[in-house]
Amino acid sequence: MEAREAAPSAGPDQAYEAADDFVREQMAEMDLPGAAVVVVRDGVRVHSAAFGRADDSGRPMTADTPVLLASTTKSLTAVAVMQQVEAGRLRLDEPVQTFIPWFTLRDSRASRITVRHLLHQASGMAAKDTAFEGSFAEGPEALDEGVRALAGSPLAGAPGESFGYANANFNILGLLVQTVSGQPFGDYMRQEVFEPLGMTNSHPTRTAARVDGAAAGHSRWFGSFWQQTEVPAPTTGMPSSTMYAAANDLGQELIMLLNEGQYRDRRLLQPESVRTMLEPGVQVDGSKMYAMGWFTRPLVESVPPSESAGGAGANLPLLAEHQGEWGNSHTYLAMVPSSGLGVALVINANDTSAPSRLKSIDTNILRILHGQEPIPAVVHEDWLQRYSWAVALVLLLAELLSLWLALRVLLARPRGNAGRKRLLVVGLAALALDAFALWLCFIYAPARFDTGLAVIIRQFPDVGVMLVPVLGLALLWSLPRTVWLLLKVRSGKALPVS
């Protein structure tokens, strides 16, 4: 059955006003610093609005203020890749090693990874094994070095077998563009994507974006207040997550894609390339698929929730969307090709403990634009993510208590066997605490959040500020404490303190 068109709201102007009112309400309710939203339809920007502040100086947020894109960067990189496919320099079903002969992973199956696998997030790489988001590398060589560093990473599955989201997929794609085009990836993006689209407030690096007045990012600390926070934005991740763009510029990207590659008098892509980009390629879950830099699913926001339940969503228009989540920014892009509608939203903040609150703003804007009422946000994150800062705080307090108890018994004069037993009990309890802290930090949390410990510390700043001393005590104090304890147990008397 043919998908039916998304029903527009009764009046576009009223819908845009209602969307703005909703964003204002959410900003007031969550105390968000700044946001900007743009709507395009039928090849024209029909609405643009900005709210709040760009930074703590009170500078107003505008629709031309660059914001760190996070994963909405991928849609721009996909454009660059398809341009090189059209030029004959890349081929979708050729292995990466055809173009970068030295590319390898710690798995012989890496030789089978193709350009299409990378675009579809189906290379077999896992995010936790290829994490780079904690890096501070911002030099021009960081992209090449980051891809070379993947040589020690395993594969979690066979290439092409299933969906597995990893930013490294798009970092490799960026290096492919850089290699076959013969120019640095950032320069290519400026000359071949940003300039033809008139994206004058878009930049491949944080340094360039700051010169243009980029918005400062904010993180939610301890689940209670927003703090302007610096988190890494390494150029290693330029093709996947660390480019910057303003909301108005993103609207121009959407116009080009909805016009099948044409923007004003410039053609960036052929229609067939755009259709290939947006063609669902691999299943994520249920009706959600991944295309090339875009998730796709039925546009359930165009009808009341009761009508989209029970599989009825199969008759709804196709929605192409992507969210961007960084430690201090949130972005969203959405397109409905059948109706020519596109939406871009940027927020210079992110709550890593409960990002679903901000994601609900994305989907509710779509609902409002389709004449539906917004629905309350539902927090999907489990207790560990929501209260990871509290877990880190408890660990820190436990380590400090352990330090105090250990020093107290070590500095006291032991009294016979009872004193020695007390030393052993305190020492073993401290070792058990250290072992638990190290297991939680190095094994459980990286697996649970599908990333590396360095990323958790640097992208979850309220958690990181407590985990650093926890790790310091567990790693650096445990050995001298244990040696001191054993010496004291053997000697049976207090040792002098230097």
Q: Can you give the pTM of this predicted structure?
A: 0.92
**495 DSSP assignment:** P
Confidence tier at 379 by pLDDT (50, 70, 90)? confident
pLDDT band per the 50, 70, 90 thresholds, residue 413:
confident
Q: What is the pLDDT of residue 494?
A: 45
**Nearest CA among 389, 395, 390 for reference residue 437:** 395
Cα 303 to the center of its chain, rounded Å = 29
Arithmetic mean of pLDDT, 381-394? 92
The whole-number pLDDT of residue 486 equals 87
Tokens, residue 11: 């009046």
Decide if pLDDT at 473 tops 80. Answer: yes
pLDDT attached to residue 2: 35
Q: How confident is the model at residue 101 (pLDDT cuts 50, 70, 90)?
A: very high
Which residues neighbour 482 within 8 Å (Cβ) at sequence distance 6 or greater? 427, 431
Burial call 372-388: b when 16+ CB within 10 Å, e when fewer:
bebeebeeebeeebbbb
More confident residue, 378 or 360: 360
pLDDT at 9 over 60: no
Confidence of residue 311 (pLDDT cuts 50, 70, 90): low
- Work out the widest C-alpha separation in the chain, in whole angstroms: 91
- What's the CA gap between 343 and 247, in Å, rounded? 9
- In 205-329, beta strands by DSSP E: 218-221, 225-228, 244-245, 262-263, 266-267, 282-285, 288-290, 295-298, 318-325
Q: Is residue 8's pLDDT more than 50? A: no
DSSP string, 123-170: SS--GGGS--TT----STTHHHHHHHGGGGPPPSS-TTSS----HHHH
Residue 7 has pLDDT above 60, yes or no: no
Cβ proximity of 32 and 329 under 8 Å: no
Amino acid in the structure at residue 34: G
| Range 216-229 average pLDDT | 95
Cβ atoms of 103 and 168 within 8 Å: the answer is: no
The residues, ordered by sequence, that sit 6+ positions from 435 with a Cβ below 8 Å of its Cβ are none
105-146 residue pLDDT tens: 999 999 999 999 999 999 999 999 999 999 999 888 999 999
Per-residue model confidence (pLDDT) at position 420:
78
Whole-angstrom Cα distance, residue 400 to residue 393?
A: 11
Distance CA 78, CA 72 (A): 11
Q: What is the mean pLDDT of the chain?
A: 93
Mean pLDDT confidence for 463-473: 95
pLDDT grade, residue 436 (50/70/90)?
very high
Q: What pLDDT is attached to residue 4?
A: 37
121 close to 74: Cβ distance less than 8 angstroms: no
Would you say 415 and 409 are in contact if contact means Cβ atoms under 8 Å apart?
no
Tell me the mean pLDDT in the region 292-318.
84
**Residue 249 confidence (pLDDT):** 98
Average pLDDT of 359-375?
96
Predicted pLDDT of residue 166: 97
3-state secondary structure at position 413: coil
Residue 394 has pLDDT above 70, yes or no: yes
Q: Which residues of 51-81 are buried (b: 16+ CB within 10 A; e: fewer)?
A: bbbbbeeeeebbbbbbbbbbbbbbbbbbbbb
Q: Which of 268, 294, 86, 140 is nearest to 194 (CA)?
A: 268
Q: What is the pLDDT of residue 219?
A: 97
- Residue 417 pLDDT: 77
| Angle in degrees, CA 495, 496, 498, rounded to 5 | 135
Helix-then-strand count for the chain, H and E: 19, 14
DSSP state of 52: E
pLDDT (tens digit, 9 = 90+) per residue, 35-84?
A: 999 999 999 999 999 999 999 999 999 999 999 999 999 999 999 999 99
Residue 242's nearest CA partner among 461, 68, 456, 457 is 68
Torsion of CA 67, 68, 71, 77, to 10 degrees: 90
Among 288-292, 346-350, 485-489, the range scoring the smallest mean pLDDT is 485-489
Neighbour-count burial of 190, counting CB atoms closer than 10 A to its CB (0-12 exposed, 13-18 middle, 19+ buried): middle
Predicted confidence at residue 313, as pLDDT, reads: 59
Task: Check residue 412 and give its pLDDT.
Answer: 82
Mean pLDDT in residue range 377-389:
90
